Structure 1
Amino acid sequence: MSGTPVSQGHSGLSIRRLALLLGGLAMFGPFSIDTIFPAFPQMGAQLGADKLAMQQTISVYLVAYALMSIVHGPLSDAIGRRRVILGGLSVFTLASVGCALATELSTLLVFRALQGLSAGVGLIVGRAVIRDVLHGDDAQRLMSQVSMIFGIAPAIAPIIGGWILGWSRWPAIFWFLVAFSLVLLVATWRMLPETHPPSARARVSPRRLLRDYVAIAFNPRFQRLAAAGAFNFGALFLYIASAPAFVLDLLRRDGQRLGEGDFAWFFVPMISGMMLGAYLSGRAAGRMTGTRLANLGFVCCGLAALSNVAYNLLVAVPAVPWAILPLAFNAFGIALVFPILTLAILDMYPRQRGSASSLQAFTGLVLHSLTAGVISPLLSDDALHLALGAALFTLLGWLFWRWESGASRSMEARNREAASVPGESI
């Protein structure tokens, strides 16, 4: 990563520093989900909650995240990126304090929802920041660099949660989130300038916001791109949402069940694949077209899905590391695809990047909330069921991408034909 300034308009902001900051901001959302996974048994015992009830700490968080995600982007379009990020970090910090002090499941769920309402600012507004300051291949490189940093979070979060449980009880995990969000708050205050100047801001108007959202949501190309990204990542998210059951109940190592400190067996290979894919995506910028890179990513995802189903058909009990390798390869393919789809969506709406980013996030989060609250509990009792569910998600993502690729080629052909008519008449 270069340490040179991002642009003349933001001369004090280097690519390296921006990538680190935006990657950190994107991390506190996954940290909110994954850090508490090892504590599920302890939390359930203390709060009197069974596995299904504990699963709601994830689904409530995601529902709130999804609902607020449609606000973060347009709000940043109207009042600036920096204010929205600082406000979200402040709310998240207070919500984490509430979670740490909760003594009943109902209280915990309330503050988990408040965490969800604020956690999306880093990821959603951060995407708009990238597109504010960079264009073309440079934007793809920075998006990939941020994805690499962001990808660390799901790998290290449950490990950190397991370490914390080794010397304290589950509330200490939420105190860790308080400290982490405070560090990000100070870093954002000191390091992040405003990248969306007043001259480019949209007026705050509920009617205009609704009109913009309707226009974006009913754009067929947006629907195809957003659905392709959501379903493709959904294959991996199904396993992330099912991690407590998958790791603690289904996986074996040398014939023995895994314990609360063994989540690294699941997350480290998976996120390593994602980081490698993000790295190669950045390296490919300017050397390979986005369409070709996305096609390659979907091929990887398809092969991973097939090998995952085949493995679970052949073995009675999934074991590490073999059960995890297809997931790592799937994560690699997703990391190749996701920056291409995201930048394509943002480029469709240069003056409404925040709104476009919000609606893309909302599309994915609605699916992920359904996955965490309904699909995961139905499938997480059997490794083959999880593999088949993930394969279906991958297939749906690829079908939407094929639909978009075909529609784009047809549009290009019509444009060339229309452009050739005046020339033929001269």
Structure 2
Amino acid sequence: MNIFLPSLPNMTEHFRTDYRLMQLSVALYLGVNAVIQILVGPVADQMGRRPVILWGLALFCLATLGCLLAPSVEVFLAFRMAQAVVAVGMVLSRAAIRDLYPQDKAASMIGYVTMGMAVVPMIGPAVGGILDELFGWKANFWLLLLLGLAAWALVRIDFGETARKSGLTLAQQFREYPELLRSPRFWGYSLASGMSAGAFFAYLGGAPFVGTEVFGMSPGELGFYFGAPAVGYFLGNFISGRFSVRFGVNRMVMWGCWANGLGITASLLIMLSGGGSAITFFGFMTFVGLGNGMSIPNATAGAMSVRPHLAGTASGLSGAIMLGGGAGLSALAGTLLTPETGALPLLWLMLATAALAVAAISVVIRRERQLGL
């Protein structure tokens, strides 16, 4: 998702287009990703996890090749949207964990798994910036193609089936959605995860502009600083893996949402005081990553545990809610920023989403007290 972000200015020049159009490579990807997540959960509950992941990774590799060969920005964006099929790996890896473990243990295991996953966004922008300076922006997509092929081979060799097939037709499987949609707890967990992550997705949409236009960074410098949230995300996931069983998912989500909001607030106050710099702006983004690392694994486990027999469907739908909101926030962040506004509109947008995340998990906690859970 983020390895090529330091290359956005050079990609804009290559395709002779506007930055705001090129920035849609993030928002459109997230939007299609959200739609795919709605579809893939029921399909995997009906067919199993393994075959759906294999097909998704194969199609991702074909779409990545299309990005490399695209003659125009419109064709590039079309194949970039097609790359979103790789969402099957994110959705179904979480569902596979929930297949094997109860709620709090699943949250712990998801935390450890996503701690490993955090290494990639941590180093991705730095690697992407270096590749861009050495070989041009297409080097990032060649790397994505090689990684996609390697992931397909690993799944083919090593990923065993974890789900018991539902025995329902796809039509029957999709008719299970209302059972989730009628659950206030499912909505609370999904929105807590979605709004907490929304601050990060807004960052994805706006930070490349802030780095290059406000702070005058080169692609290599931007790539180095851009990975700051991933450092916090790594730590947050470790905390989730270590403490979710002890403290429960609700406390972990609440603490994560507060960490997210407090980091943004600190950055905003420094910027308003006139003391903002690249170090303070990107440095406080580690708290956004820390909060996400605590809230997302636990909120995801909570959403999948509302109706355990619909774990794949719940994983897909909660992920779709998160990424659908993320797509809108990423696009909005790109439109709000100008060299004159600086980073302030982005920080206000991120703070608003962080506050909504705290409100969402508060609703879950209150609902569970009412139900005596």
Shorter-chain TM band: over 0.9
Q: How far apart are 1:265 and its partner, in Å? A: 4.1
2-structure distance, mates of 1:64, 1:268: 24
Farther off after superposition, 281-290 or 344-353: 281-290
User: For the Cα contact (< 8 Å) 1:294–1:340, is it kept in 2?
Assistant: yes
**8 Å Cα contact 1:298/1:337 also seen in 2:** yes
Deviations 1:389-409 (A, max 9, x none): 111111111111112211211
> Which of 292, 300, 310 pairs up with 1:334?
292
Aligned twin of 1:123: 90
Q: 1:258 aligns with which of 194, 208, 217?
A: 217
Shift of 1:136: 4.1
Match of 1:34 in 2: 2
Q: CA deviation at 1:268?
A: 3.4
Partner-residue secondary structure (3-state), 2:163: coil
Offset of residue 330 of structure 1? 2.4
Answer yes or no: is 1:171 the counterpart of 2:171.
Answer: no
Is the Cα contact below 8 Å between 1:37 and 1:243 reproduced in 2?
Answer: no
Q: Shift in Å at residue 103 of structure 1?
A: 1.5
Specify which of 361, 365, 370 is matched with residue 405 of structure 1: 365
Offset of residue 155 of structure 1? 2.1
Residues 190-211 of structure 1 show CA distances to partners (whole Å, capped at 9, x for unaligned) of 11111113xx4242232x2342
Aligned to 1:149: 116
Give the length in aligned residue pairs: 371
TM-score if structure 1 supplies the norm length? 0.83
Task: Give the deviation of 1:178 after TM superposition.
Answer: 0.8
CA distance in 1, matches of 2:40, 2:264: 34
Which has the larger displacement, 147-156 or 102-111? Answer: 147-156
Match of 1:298 in 2: 257
Return the TM-score normalized by structure 2.
0.94
Question: Alpha-carbon deviations, 1:328-363, whole Å to 9, x = none?
Answer: 122212211222211111111221111111110111
Distance 2:360 2:103 in 1: 24
Q: Decide which of 169, 193, 206 is 1:204's aligned counterpart.
A: 169
Q: 1:319 to 1:265 in 2, by over 3 A?
A: farther
Deviations 1:270-308 (A, max 9, x none): 211111111111111333233332332233223223212
CA distance in 1, matches of 2:312, 2:274: 46
Residues 359-398 of structure 1: pairs in structure 2 closer than 5 A: 359-379=317-337, 381-398=341-358
Deviation at 1:169, TM superposition (A): 2.3
In the alignment, the residues of structure 2 paired with residue 306 and residue 259 of structure 1 have an alpha-carbon distance, to the nearest angstrom, of 27
2:54 paired residue among 86, 102, 113: 86
Aligned mates of 2:337, 2:363 — CA distance in 1:
28
Alpha-carbon distance, 1:41 to partner:
2.1
Match of 2:156 in 1: 189
Q: 1:268 maps to which residue? A: 227
The aligned counterpart of 2:306 is: 348
Alpha-carbon distance between aligned partners in 1 of 2:313 and 2:114, rounded to the nearest angstrom: 20
1:370-398 CA-partner distances (Å, limit 9, x unpaired): 11223432146521111111111111111
Corresponding residue number in structure 1 for 2:80: 112
In the aligned structure 1, how far is the partner of 2:173 from the partner of 2:342? 44
**Greater Cα radius of gyration, structure 1 or 2:** 1
Aligned with 1:322: secondary structure? Answer: helix
The residue that corresponds to 2:44 in the other structure is 76
Matched residues in 1 for 2:24 and 2:56: separation?
Answer: 22
Once residues 33 and 266 of structure 2 are traced to their aligned partners in structure 1, the CA distance between those partners, rounded to angstroms, is 33
The residue identity in structure 2 corresponding to 1:277 is G
| Matched position secondary structure for 2:175 | helix
How far apart, CA to CA, are the structure 1 residues paired with 2:329 and 2:293?
Answer: 20
Whole-angstrom distance in 2 between the partners of 1:320 and 1:217: 42
Report the alpha carbon displacement of residue 237 of structure 1 after superposing the two structures with TM.
1.6
Report the aligned-residue RMSD: 1.7
Task: Write the distance in 1 (CA, Å) between the matches of 2:123 and 2:370.
Answer: 44
Inter-CA distance 301–171: structure 2 relative to 1 (3 Å threshold): closer
CA apart distance, 1:310: 0.7
Which of 58, 64, 72 is 1:96 aligned to? 64
Q: Determine helix, strand or coil for the equivalent of 1:195.
A: coil
Distance apart, 1:137 and its partner CA: 4.1
> Mind listing any 5+ residue stretches in structure 1 that lack a counterpart?
1-32, 252-256, 416-426
Instruction: Tell me the distance in 1 between the aligned counterparts of 2:74 and 2:104.
Output: 47
Residue type of the partner of 1:191? Answer: D
SS at match of 2:210: helix
Separation of aligned partners in 2, 1:69 and 1:308: 33
Counterpart in the other structure of 1:64? 32
Equivalent position SS for 1:243: helix
Hey, what's the Cα distance between the residues in 1 that align with 2:370 and 2:270? 39
Q: Among the aligned pairs, what percent are the same residue?
A: 27
- Give the structure 1 partner of residue 192 of structure 2: 228
Give the one of 207, 225, 250 matched to 1:243.
207
**Structure 1: which amino acid aligns with 2:331?**
G
**Contact 1:47–1:104 under 8 Å retained in 2:** yes
Counterpart secondary structure, 1:263: helix
Q: For the structure 1 residues 386 and 375, does the alpha-carbon distance in structure 2 shift closer, same or farther, using more than 3 Å as the test?
A: closer
User: What is the identity, as a one-letter code, of the residue corresponding to 1:78?
Assistant: Q
Say whether the 8 Å CA contact 2:267–2:280 is kept in structure 1. Answer: no
